Structure 1
């Protein structure tokens, strides 16, 4: 199927590592489609050489940045402005149909059946199910659509400052027009949100096909012990909502298939030579996850956070605490 492809994006060497894990997971599960990675100029030549060992096509693209600091501040993700670069995927018109997958996703089985879906097919976002999550979506490359998206980004912008807000506004009828374009959650299972409905995860989690490591702390920000085959985390690591099983799967794939390629091309398995800025950024992001928990919020503050989709699922708003309150009320 040379006219269909899985497409991902790497904007630096750290996301290059994620793309390599994604690509090797697609290969492992014997996809019959082409693998394409879009890379920005910030990706080193050594990393591009390694990507060429896994992907069929490497395409250099210029960075598109929303520069929308106001909206990005609302989701506390200032780095997501460059995700507009993802729009270049619509310019791959030598393919008839593609599936875009973020570099922080991991494939758990063959998902070639997704090519039976039409544009724009995607899974609901766990934070607002009437929006789709743009980490995995089926689309048809088109220069017309590409130009319309660029124009839309200039005139309308994005309600979250990143590609997801833009794409949801552009494909605004996704929630209501065609249920066949709603992918099951198992094709884009958030590794963070599973704890917000733990009973469902216990019931259906084994059917997961794609795991998406949402949030500012990515798998490559952790330390992995290859002897115990376990991710090592600080006792005060508040990002522990990420299911350890999935983290271990990611690191197992990295250690087994990706790390040897990096070493072969002169890139250490810890970090890329000459990438000190990325190391500092990674360290800064990791430190953000170790900050002390905030003081107990008032009822009014908690209500506002619920309305904004920022409930403290691992703290006072955990399933266990909510269950206790319901039991006390019913009794």
Structure 2
């Protein structure tokens, strides 16, 4: 029986991350999730991708982009693209839902996880890099305008120690590590598959119990090429997937190939920012940004339409500055 006042929530800041959100949504559907599926999108998400998302999610909600504008701390992570993850804070404004579970768009649900709604705010799994911090890729929360306002104030007053949402949320929910062990989700609810590496015997012993896989790091499933004839991503050569991650990547691509690609239908031939490159032997998702004239770029910037993940990303601006200075 569907529960109308609870929801699974994710975020897509651009068309590329929509590919992950679509697979996540379809994986929740396949596992018979009984809560509403909600996706937050920014103005950077195109009309076509919003239409596709609406076929998988019960609600597509546009929110304003929130960026940490903290390149120095993001440089410590070597992840300059993570500034816009602060947009995630808007999930607390979904007050029509009494309780919700947030999942990053680079996660994949392997079994029914409705039991997470029995947990209280703020429940999350430990981060593999620093277990006294939680990983913000999966967490249980209670939407609240008061909490939303406090989080935004905290962001303005204190920023984030890593320049992204995880640092900010860990400093806001600062007692997570010590206050209540019941708010510590098992690692199987947020298995960082590219971190399974550190203790391979544990991965072999517990890995089959994983409920949610999280593709941490800059390499995402959609950056690999997939061969539908073999049912596998590239597993040899310089661009090969890590062995322990391969089965999860293949599952992600299998869902994409069977449950997402058909949604495009005739729209594949239309004007798009993110397109699919399809050949007989492989499928690849590529980001294709239409070149704008300098005048168009300036006009869009002045209107507030900033492409944080593309031409206006910090790394691109830094490249221009370096060329100018030299």
Structure 2 unmatched ranges of 5 or more = 270-274, 278-284, 292-306, 311-326
CA contact (8 A) 2:16 2:287 kept: no
Match of 2:115 among 105, 113, 116: 113
Alignment of 1:82-231 (within 5 A): 82-231=84-233
Measured in 1, the distance between the counterparts of 2:267 and 2:287 equals 11
After TM superposition, the score normalised by the length of structure 2 is 0.83
CA spacing shift, 1:188–1:22, aligned 2, 3 Å: same
- Greater shift, 57-66 or 266-275, is seen at 266-275
CA contact (8 A) 1:263 1:269 kept: no
Q: Tell me, what secondary structure is at the counterpart of 2:268?
A: coil
Q: Tell me, what secondary structure is at the counterpart of 1:192?
A: helix
Alignment of 1:1-331 (within 5 A): 1-233=3-235, 235-237=237-239, 240=242, 243-266=245-268, 268-270=275-277, 271=285, 275-276=289-290
CA contact (8 A) 2:234 2:241 kept: no
Instruction: Name the count of aligned residue pairs.
Output: 282
CA contact (8 A) 1:217 1:239 kept: no
Structure 1 unmatched ranges of 5 or more = 282-331
CA contact (8 A) 1:5 1:97 kept: yes
Measured in 1, the distance between the counterparts of 2:70 and 2:106 equals 22
CA-based RMSD = 2.1
Aligned to 2:282: none
Measured in 2, the distance between the counterparts of 1:72 and 1:273 equals 23
After TM superposition, the score normalised by the length of structure 1 is 0.81
Superimposed CA distance per residue, residues 195-218 of structure 1 (whole angstroms, 9 cap, x where no aligned partner): 111000010000000000000010
Measured in 2, the distance between the counterparts of 1:29 and 1:121 equals 21
